[in-house]
Amino acid sequence: MKNSNNFLNWIFETCAIRISSHQKPFWYTSGTIGPYYINTHFLYGSEEKAIDLLGFIDREKGNKLTLPEKLFSETYKNYQSNDIYKGVIDEMCNFIKSNIDLDEVGYISGGERRDWFFSIPVSKILEKPHITIYKDLDTVITCNGKTEYLKNLNGGKVLHIADLITEASSYERAWIPAIKEKGGKIFWSVVVVDRMQGGRELLEKNGIKSFSMINIDVSFFKEVLAMGIINQEQFDLISKYLENPKESMALFLKNNPDFLRESLESDGKDRERARLCIEKDIYGLKGLEF
C-alpha cells in the first residue's frame, strides 16, 4: 500500500522504527551494523507498553487455553484507551476490508508472540475465529469467547496477520505447517511492516497473497525525508544500505575506523557485537588497524 502519513507518524512517535545518525549506525545482534532498527510491536502505544504486554504473555502462556482470552481482554482494553494503537488496528481492518473478500476468510491466525499484538484485536473487530499458533506449533482456536485445541480446519481458508516479515522464515518453519497440519491453508498474509528482503516472494511461491501496511524501501525513506523526520545525510546512508547492506557498511567501517575502535572500547552490547563482527570478519576487515 502507499504508506499513509498516519502510519508514518505513529511509527516514529512510538519509536517502532529508530534511525541512527549518519555517523553512528546501530549494532545488530548478528555483529552487523545498519542505519535503522524496527520494533513494530511498539505500535502498541510505546516501548514500555509493548514490553509490558510481552511480559504478560510470558507469564500467562504456560496455559495455552486461557492465554488467548486474557490477551483479547488486554489488547482490547488498550485499543479502547490508546489512540495510536486504535488507529493502527482500525487502519489494518479497513485495509483488509478493501483488499480481501472477508466472506472468503474463515479464520485469522497469529504466531507467538508479536503477531498477537495485531492478529487478536483484528480478529475481534472483523468477527472471525482466531487461531493462536505457539512456537512449538500447538494451535488453539478462540470463537465466541471459547478456546479449545484446534482439531480440524476441513480445508478452511486462513488470513495470517504478523507484525513483521523479513525473509518469511517463521512462516516457512512454523505458521504454514501448523495450519496445514490441521487441514487448513493460509491464503493471505497481512503484515504491519515488510522489510522487503524476500519474504513476500517466498509467500507467493507458497500460494499466499502477501500484503503490508508499510514497505521498508527507498520510497518509504523518501517520504520520511520529505516529512523532515530524517536529514539528507541519514537518507544517503540508508539508500546505500538498501542497495547493498554488506558493501555499504564495509565501506562505512573502512572510512570511519574510529567508529569500530570506540565500539570496542565501549561497555555492554556494542562491544560484544563489535567483537563478534571482527571474529567473524563479516566485512572483510582483517589486517586493518583498529
All domains of the chain in start order, with CATH: 63-215 (3.40.50.2020)
Predicted local confidence at residue 3, as pLDDT = 57
Residues 6+ apart with CB under 8 A from 223: 3, 8
Residue numbers in the chain where pLDDT is lower than 70: 1-4, 289-290
Predicted local confidence at residue 4, as pLDDT = 67
pTM: 0.93
Q: Which grid cell is 102? A: 472477508
Q: How far is CA 107 from CA 156, 176, 188, 227, in A?
A: 7, 14, 11, 38
Predicted local confidence at residue 148, as pLDDT = 98
User: What is residue 130's three-state secondary structure?
Assistant: strand
Compute CA 257 distance to the chain's CA centroid, rounded to the nearest angstrom.
Answer: 32
Cα distance from N-terminal residue to C-terminal residue, the chain: 44
Residue 143: strand pairing partners: 146
Q: Which grid cell is 152? A: 480440524
Predicted local confidence at residue 1, as pLDDT = 45
- For the packed helices 116-125 and 83-99, what is the interaxial angle rounded to 10 degrees? 70
